[in-house]
C-alpha cells in the first residue's frame, strides 16, 4: 500500500479494540476524576497499619487505586499512539502521567511503614489471615531488603538525592536525543541526507559499502568531538551508583542493581564467563561473514548488512498470522486456541497510519485482554516481529488470568523469554519445512544475528559495565580515553582476528543509553539464553516441557524470576543454559557454513 492512511481510513477490523478498556471517552474521564478523588483516601492510611485487618485493608486500597490508574494510563497512551497529532489524546496522556506521579507520591509511605514493623509480626498476620496469602511474595520482597533500608530521616534525604542521582542519565538523554546533531552523508542514490539515530542502523544494513562506512565514520567522529563531556557524564553515573549502593550497605553497585530481582551476582558472572568460553564461535561467525560478503577486510561497519541476499518473500498479514500459529503448534491446542483471540477479538492494531507511533509493542491493563501495536510491512522480519509481540501478549494474558493483580506483573528479567521462545519456535518450524538452500541461508542468517546482537553484544556491554564500575568502586579515576581503551579491547577480544576493529568503535560506549541504567543489559542475554533452552526443551521433551512452560507463563510475578525459570526447567544460577544456547548457535553456524560452501561453489 503506497499511501499512508489517515487514522479514520483504517478499516475497523484492522484496528485494536480499545473500547474493551473504556467503551467511550466519557467513561475514561469519569474514572480519571474518580482516581483523583481517591488519592486523598490513600494518604489517610498513613500510620494505620497496626493489625492484620489494617494491613489487608491498606494493601487492598493500594491495589484498587493501582488497577484504576493502570487502566487509565494504558488507555490514554494507546489512544495517543494511534495518532500522536491528536491533541485530545495528547492531553489524556499528560493527565494520566500526572495522575501516576501523584499516586506514587501519595502511596510512598506504604513500603517504609511495612518495613518499620517487626517482620515476625507481619508473618504472624499472614498466617492468621488467609486473604493476606496473595500478598506473601509482595511482603517478602519488601521485608527481605530491610537490611538495606535506612532510618526514616535518612530515607527522606536519599529520596531527595534521587533526583540529583538521576541527573547524569537525564543530561545524557537531552544531549543525545535533543542537542546532538550528525552531519549529512550521501545515500545509495547519491542524495545528501542527514544522519540520525533512527537512520543509522538502516544505513549499516545498506548493500552499498560506501554508505555503511560513511555513516559509521560520521556517527563516531561526532561522538569523538564530545568524548570528554560524555566521559564526565558517564563517570558521574558510575559515581552516583557507587554512592547509593554504599549508602544502602551493598558491597557494590552490581549487588545493589541485581537485588531488586533477588538475583545473586554469580548469575551475572556466569553469563560473562560462559560467553567468554565460547567466543571462538563468534570468531567463526565473523570469518564466515567476511567470506560471504566477499571483502578483503571485514570492518565494524560490515556487521549489520545481511550476509545473504533475501529473495524478498512477500508475506501479507493473513499469511503472517497463519505462519505464526503454525509455527507455535508445539505449544499445544490450549495455547493455540487462546492465541486465536488475538486475530479475532481486537487485540492487534495492524497498519501504519499518519501520526501512529512507530515500531511495535505489546501492552494492556489487568482485567482486559492484551494489545499489540504493529506497523505491519509484508516481509519476513515483520512476521517475526508479530510472533515476538504475541509472545509478550500471551505471557500477559496467562499472568493476568492466573494471578491476582499484585502478582500479575512479571519482572524485566523474564520479560523477553516468552517473546523469544515464540520467535525460536517459529524459526525452527520454518527451517524444518524450507528446502530452498538460499532461503535456509537467509533464515539462518536472521537467527544467528539475533544471537550476535542479543547474547554476544549485550554480554560485551555487561562486561564493560562490570570493569568500569569495579574501577570506580575501588576509587580509581576514569577518563574518556581510558573508557575508550577498555571498550576497544573488549571489541578485539569478542570479535577476533578476522575483522578490522576500527579505532572509532572505541567510542561506542558514549552512545549507549542503557549504560545509564546500571547492570540492566545483561538481562537481554540471560533472557534470550533461557528462551532458547526452553524452546529446545519444548521441541525435544514435548508435553512435560510444554506444561512447565505454560505454568511459567501463568506465574506472572508470583515469585522471584530465578525461581520461576527454575520451575520452567532452566536454572540461571548455573552457566548451563548459556552453554546450551551456545551449542544451538554452533549447530546453526555449522549448517550455514556448509550451505555457504555449496552456494559459493555453485
Tell me the average pLDDT across 192-198.
90
Tell me the average pLDDT across 495-509.
98
Residue linked to cell 506483573: 409
User: Which of 447 and 598 is assigned the larger pLDDT?
Assistant: 447
Tell me the average pLDDT across 464-481.
96
Picking from 547, 132, 45, 459, the residue whose alpha carbon sits closest to that of residue 267 is 459
pLDDT of residue 310: 64
| 267 touches 561 (CB < 8 A) | no
**DSSP per residue over 268-305, as a string?**
HHHHHHHHHTTHHHHHHHHHHHHHHHT-SS-BGGGSSS
543, with CB counted inside 10 A (0-12, 13-18, 19+), is: exposed
Residue 163 clears pLDDT 90, i.e. is over it:
no
User: Which of 311 and 252 is assigned the larger pLDDT?
Assistant: 252
- Cβ-Cβ contacts under 8 Å for 566 (sequence gap 6 or more): 572
Residue 101 clears pLDDT 90, i.e. is over it:
no
Tell me the average pLDDT across 264-269.
96
The C-alpha cell that represents 476 in the structure block:
580509581
The C-alpha atoms of residue 180 and residue 196 are separated, in whole angstroms, by: 9
Tell me the average pLDDT across 231-254.
96
Residue linked to cell 533477588: 262
pLDDT of residue 111: 87
Tell me how crowded residue 446 is: count the other CB atoms within 10 A of its CB: 18
Residue 176 clears pLDDT 80, i.e. is over it:
yes
Q: Dihedral of CA 361/362/364/368: which sign?
A: positive
| 415 touches 361 (CB < 8 A) | no
Model confidence band, residue 4 (pLDDT cutoffs 50, 70, 90): confident
- Look at strands 361-363 and 192-194 and give their pairing: unpaired
Share of the chain above pLDDT 90, in %: 84
Task: Please tell me what DSSP assigns to residue 185.
Answer: E
Question: For the ranges 154-168, 236-250, 488-502, which has the lowest average pLDDT?
Answer: 154-168
Model confidence band, residue 438 (pLDDT cutoffs 50, 70, 90): confident
Secondary element (H or E) of residue 193: strand 192-194
Model confidence band, residue 77 (pLDDT cutoffs 50, 70, 90): very high
Of the candidates 389, 423, 465, 508, the residue annotated as catalytic is: 389
CA angle centred on 202, ends 196 and 203, rounded to 5° = 80
- Look at strands 348-349 and 371-373 and give their pairing: parallel
pLDDT of residue 311: 60
| 501 touches 488 (CB < 8 A) | yes
pLDDT of residue 2: 53
The C-alpha cell that represents 177 in the structure block:
536525543
pLDDT of residue 359: 86
- Cβ-Cβ contacts under 8 Å for 404 (sequence gap 6 or more): 63, 134
CA atoms within 13 A of residue 115's CA, in its CB half-sphere: 18
pLDDT of residue 152: 66
Model confidence band, residue 158 (pLDDT cutoffs 50, 70, 90): confident
Residue 589 clears pLDDT 60, i.e. is over it:
yes
Summary mean pLDDT of the chain: 94
The C-alpha atoms of residue 24 and residue 79 are separated, in whole angstroms, by: 12
Residue 600 clears pLDDT 70, i.e. is over it:
no
602, with CB counted inside 10 A (0-12, 13-18, 19+), is: exposed
pLDDT of residue 436: 87
Tell me how crowded residue 184 is: count the other CB atoms within 10 A of its CB: 12
The C-alpha atoms of residue 40 and residue 103 are separated, in whole angstroms, by: 9
SS3 state at 313: coil
SS3 state at 5: strand
The C-alpha atoms of residue 552 and residue 293 are separated, in whole angstroms, by: 41
User: Which of 197 and 576 is assigned the larger pLDDT?
Assistant: 576
The C-alpha atoms of residue 416 and residue 235 are separated, in whole angstroms, by: 29
Phi, psi of 372 (to 5 degrees): -130, 125
Residue 365 clears pLDDT 90, i.e. is over it:
yes
The C-alpha atoms of residue 315 and residue 574 are separated, in whole angstroms, by: 40
CA atoms within 13 A of residue 113's CA, in its CB half-sphere: 16
Residue 557 clears pLDDT 50, i.e. is over it:
yes
Q: What pLDDT, in 10s, does the model give residues 530-552?
A: 999 999 999 999 999 999 999 99
pTM across the whole model: 0.90
Tell me the average pLDDT across 397-404.
98
476 noted as active-site residue: no
Residue 1 clears pLDDT 50, i.e. is over it:
no
| Domains, the chain | 9-149 (1.20.140.70)
| 35 touches 64 (CB < 8 A) | no
Residue 159 clears pLDDT 80, i.e. is over it:
no
Picking from 455, 450, 452, 443, the residue whose alpha carbon sits closest to that of residue 591 is 443
pLDDT of residue 106: 86
Picking from 571, 591, 580, the residue whose alpha carbon sits closest to that of residue 540 is 580
Tell me the average pLDDT across 578-588.
95
- Look at strands 192-194 and 184-186 and give their pairing: antiparallel
pLDDT of residue 138: 97
Q: Count how many residues are written for the chain.
A: 602
Model confidence band, residue 51 (pLDDT cutoffs 50, 70, 90): very high
pLDDT of residue 601: 67
CA angle centred on 322, ends 402 and 304, rounded to 5° = 95
**DSSP per residue over 360-384, as a string?**
-EEE--TTS--EEE----SSHHHHH
pLDDT of residue 197: 86
The C-alpha atoms of residue 19 and residue 514 are separated, in whole angstroms, by: 35
| 78 touches 16 (CB < 8 A) | yes
Residue 226 clears pLDDT 70, i.e. is over it:
yes
Amino acid at each position: 500500500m503506497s499511501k499512508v492512511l489517515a487514522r479514520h481510513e483504517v478499516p475497523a477490523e484492522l484496528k485494536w479494540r480499545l473500547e474493551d478498556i473504556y467503551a467511550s471517552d466519557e467513561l475514561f474521564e469519569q474514572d480519571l476524576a474518580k482516581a483523583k478523588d481517591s488519592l486523598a483516601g490513600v494518604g489517610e492510611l498513613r500510620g494505620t497499619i497496626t493489625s492484620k485487618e489494617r494491613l489487608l485493608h491498606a494493601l487492598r486500597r493500594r491495589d484498587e487505586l493501582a488497577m484504576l490508574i493502570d487502566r487509565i494510563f494504558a488507555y490514554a497512551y494507546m489512544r495517543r499512539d494511534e495518532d500522536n497529532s491528536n491533541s485530545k489524546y495528547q492531553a489524556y496522556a499528560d493527565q494520566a502521567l500526572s495522575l501516576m506521579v501523584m499516586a506514587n507520591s501519595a502511596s510512598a509511605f506504604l513500603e517504609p511503614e511495612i518495613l518499620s514493623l517487626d517482620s515476625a509480626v507481619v508473618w504472624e498476620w499472614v498466617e492468621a489471615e488467609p486473604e493476606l496469602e496473595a500478598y506473601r511474595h509482595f511482603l517478602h520482597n519488601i521485608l527481605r531488603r530491610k537490611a538495606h533500608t535506612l532510618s526514616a530521616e535518612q530515607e527522606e534525604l536519599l529520596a531527595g538525592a534521587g533526583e540529583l542521582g538521576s541527573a547524569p542519565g537525564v543530561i545524557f538523554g537531552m544531549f543525545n536525543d535533543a542537542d546532538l546533531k550528525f552531519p549529512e552523508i550521501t545515500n545509495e542514490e547519491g542524495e545528501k541526507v542527514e544522519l540520525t539515530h533512527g537512520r543509522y542502523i538502516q544505513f549499516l544494513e545498506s548493500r552499498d559499502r560506501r554508505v555503511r562506512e560513511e555513516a559509521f565514520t560520521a556517527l563516531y567522529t561526532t561522538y569523538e568531538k564530545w568524548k570528554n563531556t560524555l566521559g564526565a557524564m558517564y563517570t558521574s553515573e558510575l559515581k552516583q551508583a557507587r554512592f547509593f549502593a554504599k549508602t544502602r550497605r551493598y558491597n557494590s553497585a552490581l549487588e545493589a542493581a541485581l537485588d531488586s530481582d533477588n538475583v545473586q551476582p554469580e548469575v551475572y558472572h556466569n553469563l560473562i564467563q560462559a560467553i567468554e568460553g565460547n567466543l571462538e564461535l563468534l570468531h567463526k561467525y565473523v570469518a564466515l561473514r567476511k567470506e560471504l560478503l566477499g571483502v578483503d577486510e571485514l570492518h565494524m561497519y560490515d556487521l549489520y548488512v545481511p550476509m545473504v541476499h533475501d529473495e524478498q518473500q512477500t508475506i501479507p498479514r493473513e499469511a503472517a498470522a497463519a505462519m505464526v500459529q503454525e509455527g507455535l503448534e508445539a505449544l499445544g491446542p490450549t495455547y493455540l486456541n487462546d492465541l486465536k483471540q488475538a486475530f479475532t477479538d481486537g487485540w492487534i492494531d495492524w497498519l501504519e497510519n499518519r501520526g501512529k507511533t512507530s515500531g511495535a509493542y505489546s501492552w494492556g491493563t489487568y482485567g482486559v485482554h492484551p494489545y499489540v501495536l504493529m506497523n505491519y510491512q509484508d516481509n519476513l522480519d515483520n512476521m517475526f516481529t508479530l510472533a515476538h509481540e504475541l509472545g509478550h501478549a500471551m505471557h500477559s494474558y496467562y499472568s493476568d488470568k492466573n494471578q491476582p493483580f499484585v502478582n500479575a506483573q512479571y519482572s524485566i528479567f523474564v520479560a523477553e523469554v516468552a517473546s523469544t521462545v515464540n520467535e525460536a519456535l517459529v524459526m525452527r518450524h520454518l527451517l524444518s519445512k524450507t528446502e530452498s538452500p538460499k532461503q535456509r541461508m537467509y533464515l539462518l542468517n536472521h537467527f544467528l544475528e539475533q544471537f550476535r546482537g542479543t547474547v554476544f553484544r549485550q554480554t560485551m556491554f555487561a562486561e564493560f559495565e562490570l570493569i568500569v564500575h569495579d574501577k570506580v568502586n575501588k576509587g580509581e579515576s576514569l577518563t574518556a580515553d581510558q573508557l575508550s581503551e577498555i571498550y576497544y579491547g573488549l571489541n578485539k577480544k569478542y570479535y577476533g582476528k578476522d575483522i578490522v576493529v576500527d579505532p572509532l568503535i572505541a567510542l561506542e560506549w558514549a552512545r549507549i543509553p542503557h549504560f545509564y541504567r546500571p547492570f540492566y543489559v545483561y538481562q537481554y542475554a540471560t533472557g534470550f539464553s533461557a528462551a532458547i533452552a526452553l524452546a529446545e526443551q519444548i521441541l525435544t521433551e514435548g508435553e512435560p516441557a510444554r506444561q512447565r512452560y505454560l505454568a511459567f507463563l501463568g506465574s506472572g510475578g508470583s515469585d522471584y524470576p530465578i525461581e520461576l525459570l527454575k520451575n520452567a526447567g532452566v536454572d540461571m544460577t548455573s552457566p548451563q543454559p548459556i552453554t546450551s544456547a551456545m551449542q544451538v548457535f554452533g549447530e546453526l553456524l555449522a549448517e550455514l557454513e556448509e550451505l555457504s560452501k555449496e552456494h559459493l561453489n555453485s
